[in-house]
Amino acid sequence: MSVLLLLAAAAVPHPSPLKVYKDWIVGCDNGLACHAVALMPENGEGATMAVKRGPEAGAPIMIDFTLDGAGAAGLAADGKKLPVRVLSSGDGAAVAPGDVPAVIGALRSAHALTILDAKGASLGDVSLAGASAALLYIDDRQGRAGTVTALARPGPKPASRIAPPPPIPVVRVATAGSGPAFTLTRARAVALRREQSCRIEEVGGPDEIEAYSLGGDRTLVLLSCGSGAYNLIMVPLIATRRGGQVEIGPAPFDAPPEQGEMGKPVVINPDWDPKTGLLSSLAKGRGIGDCGIHQAYAWDGARFRLVQQDEMSECRGSVDYITTWRAKVVGR
């Protein structure tokens, strides 16, 4: 394979897969920042929590909880109160940094954590089935197994044995577009929907078309192409002025968005931010948003580049999506 082909292959984003261990789901991004989430048990009752850790040897461990209502103050493991502080804020809570090691120890061996209020009453249980496997996965991906920093199986090896994390890609956003965006006539929009085989009625369905200047002679066109109870499906197109004509074709991506049932790249519930040059898509697996995929793309002047992908593959009560790809965005 030529050097150019190798570079091209390396430039294509490859988000990491998520892993499910019983009541826990875990994933790491391309920079080896890792995130494990406790899911609601299959009976749908309980609370959720997350363990997050950066890839650096000395990266701190962060543990937080999501629960209905505030007032979290402590934790119990299998009914035994732990000597830890839980700091409550809004609809969530976090373990005090100095008390994190005690909670990690409980995750290795206990069956359930109970979130307690200031009077010791239960605010919800977190299943720990699969927690130790999720922690071991993080250790393996970050090269911590057997070191003093390991989550699941610490050992005598020093933190200096942990390799530096891989660099994440840098994406430069194009200069903000100037001038008016190209606007489609209704007749042109109808023709485009037919060309794209959109599953949408011309009368009675969403008739939404959004257009944004990308600078020069190019315009981003988001064409509504289908809808459901909680998802609006839009096809991203690029309109380019060439002389007195306007050519419209598919928007280029380094990693095409989810195709789903449309059989073509689409963006779901999209949002374009002209200040940052980012196009985002959020495909919900169900209405409450506790599963789905969020993607953010930066326009670099030639194509849309994937700069963030967050996922939750399990529809089990947690809206704490796990990042599986990230890039550093510069410019604007």
Do 332 and 278 meet the contact criterion of CB atoms below 8 Å apart?
no
Q: How far is it, in rounded angstroms, from Cα 201 to Cα 188? A: 15
Closest among 44, 150, 165 to 105, alpha carbons compared? 150
Is a pLDDT exceeding 90 seen at residue 115? yes
Q: What is the DSSP string of 11-31?
A: HS--PPPPEEETTEEEEE-TT
Q: pLDDT digit string (tens) for 216-258?
A: 889 999 999 888 889 999 999 999 988 778 899 999 999 988 7
316 belongs to a structural domain: yes
Q: How many other CB atoms are there within 10 angstroms of residue 118's CB atom?
A: 11
Q: How far is it, in rounded angstroms, from Cα 154 to Cα 177? A: 52
Q: Please give the model's pTM, rounded to 2 decimal places.
A: 0.92
Q: How far is it, in rounded angstroms, from Cα 88 to Cα 94? A: 7
82 belongs to a structural domain: yes
Average pLDDT, the chain: 89
138 and 234 inside one domain: no
Residue 121 belongs to domain with CATH number: 2.60.40.1880
Closest among 144, 147, 156 to 34, alpha carbons compared? 144
Mean predicted confidence (pLDDT) in 192-221 = 78
Q: How far is it, in rounded angstroms, from Cα 189 to Cα 306? A: 27
Among the residue ranges 130-144, 248-262, 304-318, the one predicted with the least confidence is 248-262
187 and 314 inside one domain: yes
Q: How many other CB atoms are there within 10 angstroms of residue 222's CB atom?
A: 22
Is a pLDDT exceeding 60 seen at residue 173? yes
62 belongs to a structural domain: yes
Mean predicted confidence (pLDDT) in 301-310 = 96
Q: How far is it, in rounded angstroms, from Cα 20 to Cα 37? A: 10
Question: Would you state the pLDDT for residue 201?
Answer: 56
84 and 216 inside one domain: no
pLDDT band at 199 (very low <50, low <70, confident <90, very high): confident
Among the residue ranges 58-72, 89-103, 132-146, 275-289, the one predicted with the least confidence is 58-72
Question: Would you state the pLDDT for residue 261?
Answer: 67
7 belongs to a structural domain: no
Whole domain around residue 261: which residue ranges? Answer: 170-330
145 belongs to a structural domain: yes
Q: pLDDT digit string (tens) for 72-103?
A: 999 999 999 999 999 987 778 999 999 999 99
CA dihedral 180, 181, 187, 189 (to 10 degrees): -170
Number of separate domains in the chain: 2
3-state SS class at 159: helix
Mark which of 161, 189, 217 sits at the end of a domain: 161
132 and 183 inside one domain: no
Q: What are the two backbone dihedrals, phi and then psi, of residue 19, each rounded to the nearest 5 degrees?
A: -120, 140
